[in-house]
Amino acid sequence: MGFRTIENDIKSGVLNKAAPVLLCGEEQFLVNYYEHKLVALFSGRKDSAVDDNSSLSELDISVFYGDEADDEAIMAALDTFPIFLPARIVLVRNHQGFQSAGGASNRGGGKSSSASETASEKITQKKNGLADFILHIPETARLVFTVGGVNKTRALYKAIAKHGTVYEFTRLNEADLINFVRKRFKTMGADAGQDVLDAFIYATGYLEKDSGGDLFTVENDVYKTASFALSEGRTTIAHSDVEECLPGVLRTDVFAMLDAISTGRKAEAIRLLENSLAGGENVFRLLSLFTGHFEIMLGYKELSAEGHSSAKITQILGERSDWRVKKLGGFAQRFELKKLQTILRRLYETERMIKSGDIAERLALTVLLAGL
């Protein structure tokens, strides 16, 4: 994980030298966080927030953005001697030199193909100019690039990878996400038990496949939940706080429905279904959740029979949340293997019938639950 490496490098002093640093990757929360942390490290200040309008930014910190990041200006900033700080800090955000070559296209702008190629060559030369300059960063300067995705074949990336350090921040796994949430609850003056943490993390949806959520969203959910509990005079987060504050918590109703279904309480399962629909839950989303859960349950049933542990089953199924797999595995043990296979067939058939217009959406789900 990129954040583990950079934390170790900060502690060991590896980054206290005039070499370029690239912070990149899918998890932009961590990119931003470590940009601020490096500013604190290089400036010797505890407060690392970069205010581009502050006198400090104008005098000893230079910030460049995307298309406006002129390489000559960046090199000139690096050559400028610091006034108040130990080193001149140059931050370059979303530099075009990390993007794929040939990104600009000639869309009827009147320029010939050869003219476009000439312009592209000049741009490449400029990028390589900065890539070459990286070898000669003064001891009095620190250069930090931040960007999302990168093309690792570009000269600028290769130069940083060879002569500096690249930290790529991917999505957190379950254990790291739990630590992330726990620390931010603690910062707010609140805490939560493991069961509540598991439910909270599941409700955020961060660990789901193809999740669009990120750490910015998770941090905001922490803030909302902790603030709600504290406003009620409690420092310990409860399940009710999670249910109150996270819109995505309707997922947990599916667990309640599964519990009711697996113990023969069909009337309760249907009541829970109606409550979810009345609360604005989408029929296809509910159906998708049911299908996904029963697919995991079937996989868990088959793999546990082969002697695999829950952690191994999570890995084999390609899931991120071991907690989710364990919980669904508990439900799976209440069903015979053939029953799970039959339920999955009914789920697939129900989706087909709804999409073809053979049956109304809500009626289809009610009939489905009644027949399980």
Confidence of residue 181 (pLDDT cuts 50, 70, 90): very high
Of 187, 213, 245, which closes a domain? 245
CATH code for position 191: 1.10.8.60
Of 183, 218, 245, which closes a domain? 245
Residues 139 and 164 in one domain: yes
Residues 153 and 179 in one domain: no
Residues 128 and 232 in one domain: no
- What string of H, E and C letters represents the secondary structure of 348-360? HHHHHHHHHCCCC
Residues 302 and 193 in one domain: no
pLDDT at 143 over 90: yes
For residue 284, the model assigns a pLDDT of 82
Of 118, 153, 168, which closes a domain? 168
Residues 210 and 267 in one domain: no
Provide the mean pLDDT of the chain: 83
Residues 155 and 10 in one domain: yes
Whether 180 and 213 have beta carbons less than 8 Å apart is answered as no
CA distance 129 to 141: 18
Token representation of residue 320: 């991120």
Residues 146 and 24 in one domain: yes
Question: Who has greater pLDDT, 372 or 326?
Answer: 326
- In the chain, the DSSP E strands lie at 21-24, 61-65, 88-93, 141-146, 165-168, 191-192, 236-237
Q: What pLDDT, in 10s, does the model give residues 21-69?
A: 999 999 999 999 999 999 999 988 655 455 444 455 568 899 999 777 7
For residue 215, give its domain range.
174-245
Q: What pLDDT, in 10s, does the model give residues 287-326?
A: 888 888 899 999 999 999 999 998 899 889 888 778 788 8
The count of structural domains within the chain is: 3
- pTM (2 d.p.): 0.68
Q: What pLDDT, in 10s, does the model give residues 247-279?
A: 655 555 678 888 888 888 988 988 888 888 887
